[in-house]
Structure 1
Amino acid sequence: MSAAAPNSEPTPAHVPEFKTLLGHPKPLWMLFMTEFWERFAFYGMRWALALYIVAQFYNGDAAGEAPASKLYGAYLALVYAAALFGGYVADKVIGYQRSILLGAVIMAAGLFMIVLPNEALFKLGLATIVVGNGLFKPNISTMVGQLYRQGDERRDSGFTLFYMGINAGAMVAPIITGWLAERMFGGSPEMPAYKVVFIASGVGMLVSLVWFWFGRAQLQSVGRPAAGTEGKARVLYTLLGALVMIPVVYALLAIDASTLGWLLGALFVGLCVLILREGFKDGAVRRDMAIAMLIIFAFNVLFWCFFEQAGSSFNFLAQNIVNRDFGGWVFPVGWFQSVNSIAIITMAPIIAWLWVKMGSANPSIPRKFGLGLLFNALAFLLLMFALSSLVDPQSLKIPFWTLFAVYWIQSIGELCLSPIGLSMVTKLAPVRLVGFGMGGWFLSTAIGNNLSGIFASHVSGEGGMTVASAQSGYTFGFWALLIPGVLLFVIAPLIQKLMHGVK
């Protein structure tokens, strides 16, 4: 689950005097609920995408699992890549408030478009969601940071509360939309009515839009356009630009996932070259810090490649190979997607306490990333064991608890890695290229997401997922995580030396 990004923009020189609610600026709670409903919309439909593609466009044929996984991975990759441009638009063109409103409108339109059972319209709807999310997602968390003055000790706890809003929305969304899909429009546990999922998600996005529309007055000057950029014509130009970008994103979704990977990779390499050039200009210390950051970006790609099986191969595993029958009641596939958020909400305070309790023994940033990879590997090791030793000979299914535990173990890995990623970038990136550093982080995550779809397609194979194909694929996943995880632990002192004391 993506954490709320720490505010990478400088806090405005003037921060309004806000009324407080529960010890924090009152607008925080408005932003909390706006984000809650946006995450409800995003995660409410995410679990159903790959399953819907197979059911609707491949008539339920398991051979559709591989292309569905690739499209799902490409969609997630472009969601992250779009965040690069959304932040720039908000900062330089129309301001954060207008960017969020425009993004919400576009996202809602995309969510309702994918209800229509036409493959071309479905992909166009996904492209519309990508563009809207790019305008919305990176900017609302930036405004959370702008509610606090520099040095305000409430700032970190404010982001923590906002992060809980993200995870609360992501937790309830699959439960509600999964339940609706099995009980409305003729849906059943065997064949959910996926259009209900998309409709409910679209409604959630409209709630987010309305909530922010009426609540934004609380923000006063925070997030409004900069002086000289208040004209509404800029909003119109941005909308036209977004409309132009939608077919571009559609074209990127339509190309082969491998080709998209090469395009994202080329963009990433270009960013890395710019960052290294700037680092070399700033002297040996900044050069070393830039190199350390780029090394960690490479390991970040690996983590998300295998973590993001949640919406693709793990869904097909849950649907076909996990025993979800509890005495006549079948556990909905989509509900597995809530385990991550439950684990994050439950385990985050414990892990935060553990880091503090360890004091000087607290792992370095590279070793925390290594722990993220190793916990991810442990989840795949459990799948290897389940698929080799726990398969019921009659039903050819593995026990329910195994997949539940896999999500939980992966979430611990996420907590070791994800919360420190963007904070690390702000400390290690060359001073004049922090924005490009953020771009590198998002692009490395996007590349990992695209690779996740390609990997999931291999797990399913040409004829759909079987116990044998899943065991083979997840065995590869285990070794592909274990070896780099151990390597990162070994070279962590070298990377830490390059970081020159950054913790």
Structure 2
Amino acid sequence: MSAQVPNAAEPAGPPLAAPSGAGTQPPTFDQRLGHPKPLWMLFMTEFWERFAFYGIRWALVYYIVAQFYDGSGTGEKPANQMYGAYLALVYAAAIFGGYVADRVLGYQRSILLGAVIMAAGLFMISLPNQQIFQLGLATIICGNGLFKPNISTMVGKLYGVGDPRRDSGFTIFYMGINLGAFSAPILTQILAQKIFGDEGMPAYKVVFIASGVGMLFSLVWFWFGRRQLQGIGRPPGNADKRKVLYVFVGALLAIPVVYFLLTMGAEPLNWFVLLPMFLILCALLLVEGIREGKVQRDMTIAMLVIFVFNILFWMFFEQAGSSFSFLSDKIVDRDIFSGWSESLVMAITGDRVFPNAWFQSVNSLAIITLAPVLAFIWIWMGRRNKEPSISRKFSLGLIFNGLAFLLLMFALSRLVDPTTFKIPFWTLFMVYVIQSVGELCLSPIGLSMVTKLAPVRLVGFGMGGWFLSTGIGNNLSGIFAGIVSGETGMTVESAHTGYTFGFWALVGSGVLLFLISPLISKLMHGVK
């Protein structure tokens, strides 16, 4: 969900508009609804890729428990940790994929090759074998690394330097991201539980196959539409087409490495791989900042402090695809419909129960609905010189995320039905909405901040640091979700204990960041 690589786990604010190049202008494009015609081709390419990525999100942890642990609650912890490690490696792969596109293949060929590899991985995970499933996840990671960081860059290259339509163009593209993420859980759930399976035995392989087909749609759409780009995103000069084969072979060789990292365990992955990579990147950035002088040193320090808080945000936000899934399945009363709403849901789903998968669509719906509202609030405050600083927006993101956990604390301590031992549906629904407000406060400004604060010669490393901080947060989210579920599966007590810790960690860090924001703003030397 989501330049910002919108959440490979998640769609966040509009991706950062990549510059078209110093002093260069794009070709003259035919216009469609006030924007370059290729924008709409990229919109649909991204729609189908996000459909594929988010189509499997709701099903992954359920499938791991059902297929490889015979439905036992003991499978929840390893499923949560596998999910977190998967998301973390998606972010790490994006760093290498961006480098390949910049230096070797060009953006177009990277996107096409990434789409082929992702589709192969999505079909692989439909096979009921644990090793093939994990190899399939590793394949998706490698493909996504080539695809995701480069499609957003292509959008930025459609607009000339200073083109006032750039922001609205990225907003349109961002809608493609969220529409794909919104529709995928709904449609794949209907396929898995109403057409090819049932509530008790969903046909998860249909979810994965449908997502693979969606990825093929993305590939075909871009293959035939790329001529509209008039050379944008192609490698410079007459690049040797054999490089595509070389990169493909390199990706195939990388899959076993990613498989090893994916299966080594979430905690070893965090302490022996992700954290050392992150610390090395931070050290390189700080050394370069010191070399460039006091001002750049201060701005680099400010950026690194924000990275640490970014880890905390995503550690708890990404419960959406892990522990919240088990919460909705075991502890949330989803039998909520009556009257006209019952008839509507019955017509769509065949029963009165709100499907687990549909919770995954709430974030995208909230983002689409609330993003214009929050943008208006920032503009209104800005005109009155009251718009919060970058660090205070981050602190608000952490606090809103914490308020979502406060609602869960209240529900799990005061609203549990004594006969069913379940909490009301509306509580988890609103958790997703409140978290989305926090995401809108934090995520859209992340990489924009990096381009302003990172040392000029190491902006790419700065973006790598942002991606890795997000990836570490995602991996920690799986570890934390495993703790919430415990050794035998989630209970009201284990959920209440875990989410209470989440509340205090988020609100405490948010308040701390709010209090030290004047110091961070001073280190930023006027950067807004």
Normalising by the smaller structure, the TM-score range is: over 0.9
| Letter of the 1:243 counterpart | L
Give yes or no for contact 1:189–1:330 (8 Å, CA) kept in 2: no
Q: Which residue of 2 aligns with 1:56?
A: 67
For residues 166 and 25 of structure 1, what CA distance do their matches in structure 2 show? 18
The alpha carbon displacement at 1:10 in A equals: 4.7
The alpha carbon displacement at 1:221 in A equals: 1.3
| Letter of the 1:370 counterpart | S
Q: Which residue of 2 aligns with 1:474?
A: 499
Q: Which residue of 1 aligns with 2:152?
A: 141
The DSSP-based 3-state class of the residue aligned with 2:423 is coil
2:418 to 359, 373, 393: 393
* Aligned 1:317-356 pairs, distance under 5 A: 317-326=327-336, 329-356=352-379
The alpha carbon displacement at 1:184 in A equals: 2.8
Q: Which residue of 1 aligns with 2:276?
A: 266
For residues 387 and 513 of structure 2, what CA distance do their matches in structure 1 show? 16
Q: Which residue of 2 aligns with 1:300?
A: 310
The alpha carbon displacement at 1:14 in A equals: 3.9
For residues 134 and 149 of structure 1, what CA distance do their matches in structure 2 show? 27
| Letter of the 1:335 counterpart | W
Q: Which residue of 1 aligns with 2:199?
A: 189
Give yes or no for contact 1:101–1:136 (8 Å, CA) kept in 2: yes
Aligned residues: 501
Normalising to structure 1: TM-score of the pair?
Answer: 0.98
Q: Which residue of 2 aligns with 1:413?
A: 438
Q: Which residue of 2 aligns with 1:167?
A: 178
The alpha carbon displacement at 1:232 in A equals: 1.0
The alpha carbon displacement at 1:326 in A equals: 3.3
Q: Which residue of 1 aligns with 2:521?
A: 496
The alpha carbon displacement at 1:190 in A equals: 2.7
For residues 266 and 9 of structure 1, what CA distance do their matches in structure 2 show? 31
* Aligned 1:84-483 pairs, distance under 5 A: 84-185=95-196, 187-228=197-238, 230-262=239-271, 263-326=273-336, 329-359=352-382, 360-483=385-508
| Letter of the 1:437 counterpart | G
For residues 67 and 336 of structure 2, what CA distance do their matches in structure 1 show? 28
Q: Which residue of 1 aligns with 2:348?
A: none
The DSSP-based 3-state class of the residue aligned with 2:321 is coil
1:55-93 alpha-carbon deviations (Å, 9 max, x no partner): 000000011000000000000000011000000101100
For residues 302 and 56 of structure 1, what CA distance do their matches in structure 2 show? 31
The alpha carbon displacement at 1:8 in A equals: 4.1
For residues 430 and 330 of structure 1, what CA distance do their matches in structure 2 show? 53
The alpha carbon displacement at 1:325 in A equals: 1.3
Normalising to structure 2: TM-score of the pair?
Answer: 0.94
| Letter of the 2:92 counterpart | A
For residues 274 and 121 of structure 1, what CA distance do their matches in structure 2 show? 38
The alpha carbon displacement at 1:179 in A equals: 1.2
1:395-440 alpha-carbon deviations (Å, 9 max, x no partner): 1110000000000000000000000001000000000000000000
Give yes or no for contact 2:125–2:136 (8 Å, CA) kept in 1: yes
For residues 284 and 306 of structure 1, what CA distance do their matches in structure 2 show? 35
For residues 336 and 191 of structure 2, what CA distance do their matches in structure 1 show? 19
The DSSP-based 3-state class of the residue aligned with 1:488 is helix
For residues 403 and 201 of structure 2, what CA distance do their matches in structure 1 show? 32
1:271-316 alpha-carbon deviations (Å, 9 max, x no partner): 0000001100110000000000000000000000000001100000
Q: Which runs of 4+ in 1 moved over 3 A?
A: 7-10
For residues 153 and 307 of structure 2, what CA distance do their matches in structure 1 show? 22
Give yes or no for contact 1:8–1:426 (8 Å, CA) kept in 2: no
| Letter of the 2:264 counterpart | I
Change (3 A) 1:47 1:343: same
The alpha carbon displacement at 1:11 in A equals: 2.6
- Structure 1, unaligned stretches of length 5 or more? none
CA-atom RMSD in angstroms: 0.9
Query: Identity across aligned pairs (percent)?
Result: 72
| Letter of the 1:402 counterpart | T
For residues 369 and 282 of structure 1, what CA distance do their matches in structure 2 show? 27
| Letter of the 1:113 counterpart | M
Give yes or no for contact 2:20–2:26 (8 Å, CA) kept in 1: no
| Letter of the 1:332 counterpart | P
The DSSP-based 3-state class of the residue aligned with 1:393 is coil
| Letter of the 1:385 counterpart | F
For residues 153 and 184 of structure 1, what CA distance do their matches in structure 2 show? 47
The alpha carbon displacement at 1:162 in A equals: 0.6
Query: Does structure 1 residue 72 correspond to structure 2 residue 88?
Result: no
For residues 265 and 234 of structure 2, what CA distance do their matches in structure 1 show? 40
